[in-house]
Amino acid sequence: MSPLPVVSLIQRLRAAPILRPLEARDFRLLVFGAVVSLLGDGFFYVALAWQVYDISNVPTALSMIGLAWTLPMVVLLLVGGAMSDRYDRRRLMIGADVLRAAAIGAMAVLSWTGVIELWHVAALIALVGVGDAFFNPASTAIIPDLLPAERLPAANALAGMYRPLTFRLVGPALAGVAVAAFGPGLAFGIDAVSFVGSALAIAAIGTRPKARPTGRLSPRTTFAEVGEGLRFVRGQPWIWATLVAAMLSLLVFLGPLEVLVPFLVKNRLGQGPESLGAIFAAGGVGSIAMALAIGQLGLPRRRMTVMFAAWSGGVAAMAVIGLMTDLWQALISSLVTHALFELGQVIWTTMLQQRVPRQLLGRVSSLDWLMSTGLVPISFALTGPAADLFGPEATMVGASLIGAVLMFVLLFVPGVRDPEREPAGLAPLAGQS
């Protein structure tokens, strides 16, 4: 083959709108760290489900682990958001990565040595939840520090491509084979190392945001700064109604999704971890395809309507898993669900980054995480008893359909669709500079 077509292809790829944010060195470092960490997370999710069900093959066991993971995150998210608006977001992210690497590394050692018990997993994953509480708000808020506003939609579409590629496609596909061949310990170890790689990449970022308030973050100032973020959200119906919709919908469907999908693959279909990895991978294909479409075509004008419709449709599509009789049905359900989730998520993240003042973005992001996950511990806690009472199949179907309705009805709250009436979906960003 002549080198000229290859050079031409490379030039066209570099000029693609979705890749333009990578021209910024610090954003490239952030993406590199995220790719490494997410690849490890793809191993972790498959290994975690299989490890727990190896210890105790009942849905209640994984429900308990989900509760242990999400409860500390929910408790600490607002503190993490306030700290990300006051201190160096890089350092918060590095510290969170180190904590999570240590916790999951300990899990790997216990699994390798064959002494791991359910309480070990619960205690260590609680530390992972603490790290998530500080990392997640900072990771959302740091992106506008690294890129101009006009590059944010492309950056979020790019994230919508590499996140599922690593976390849902490559990671789980490799993890399914690795766990089947070597057990969960190897996958836990890979995830622990990936957090170290992420921390090193973030440490190399050179950009520093403008000075923020100094001084010690006391409980009094924490409450005051959290209150400032809450007042802003209360005045924005498009934000608070979306958060309420997500909170109620996730309460109903997330516990069944995380707990019952591995259980049904193992016990209804009689298949192994490689099939669970294939389901995750199919979701990754759907997300990547949607991200590429957004990167090429841009975001829709009626952003709020499309976002709510996409999320509702994605939740409803999960009902297929409760009715499946063969693996291919779960694969299609996962592909459709995650494609629609990706469309809604890119719209939502872009709107937050463009419309929320920079000095409030960490707190608003933490509130987003809190509202999205605040009732998730309850969802995990209820999934096991619900599956015992109604059966895992009926629980999965009911949770999907009820969750879809709860998501969509909040679209009709007055003021939610106001952003669609503004040119290009943008609003004045008071105080953002």
- Is residue 127 pLDDT above 90, yes or no? yes
Residue 220's pLDDT band (cuts 50, 70, 90): low
Mean pLDDT across 9-18: 57
Q: Mean pLDDT lowest for which of 67-81, 158-172, 216-230, 297-311? A: 216-230
Mean pLDDT across 403-408: 92
Share the mean pLDDT of the chain.
83
User: Cβ–Cβ contacts within 10 Å for residue 248, how many?
Assistant: 19
Find where tokens 């990706």 sit: 342
**In whole angstroms, what separates CA 373 from the centre of its chain?**
11
User: What gap in Å lies between CA 354 and CA 150, rounded to an integer?
Assistant: 9
Residue 423's pLDDT band (cuts 50, 70, 90): low
Tens of pLDDT, residues 133-155? 999 888 888 888 888 877 887 88
User: What gap in Å lies between CA 122 and CA 103, rounded to an integer?
Assistant: 11
Residue 14's pLDDT band (cuts 50, 70, 90): low
pLDDT for 15: 57
Tens of pLDDT, residues 315-333? 999 999 988 888 999 999 9
User: What gap in Å lies between CA 234 and CA 221, rounded to an integer?
Assistant: 20
pLDDT for 7: 44
Is the pTM of the predicted complex or chain greater than 0.75? Answer: no
Residue 432's pLDDT band (cuts 50, 70, 90): very low
User: What gap in Å lies between CA 431 and CA 433, rounded to an integer?
Assistant: 6
> Residues 111, 113, 118, CA angle at the centre, nearest 5°?
40
DSSP secondary structure of 233-266: HHT-HHHHHHHHHHHHHHHHHHHHHHHHHHHHHH
Burial tier of 112 (Cβ tally within 10 Å: 0-12, 13-18, 19+): middle
The structure tokens listed for 85 are 């608006």
pLDDT for 179: 82
User: Is 30 within 8 Å of 207 (Cβ atoms)?
Assistant: no
User: Cβ–Cβ contacts within 10 Å for residue 413, how many?
Assistant: 15
Helix (H) or strand (E) holding 430: none
In the chain, the amino acid numbered 98 is V
Tens of pLDDT, residues 43-94? 888 888 888 888 887 777 877 888 888 888 888 888 888 788 778 889 999 9
- Is residue 264 pLDDT above 80, yes or no? yes
Tens of pLDDT, residues 200-219? 999 999 877 655 555 555 55
Mean pLDDT across 106-123: 92
- Measured in residues, the chain has a length of 433
Residue 225's pLDDT band (cuts 50, 70, 90): confident
User: What gap in Å lies between CA 74 and CA 89, rounded to an integer?
Assistant: 19
- Give all domains of the chain, ordered by start, each with its CATH number: 17-205+218-422 (1.20.1250.20)
Residue 424's pLDDT band (cuts 50, 70, 90): very low
pLDDT for 388: 86
- Is residue 106 pLDDT above 90, yes or no? yes
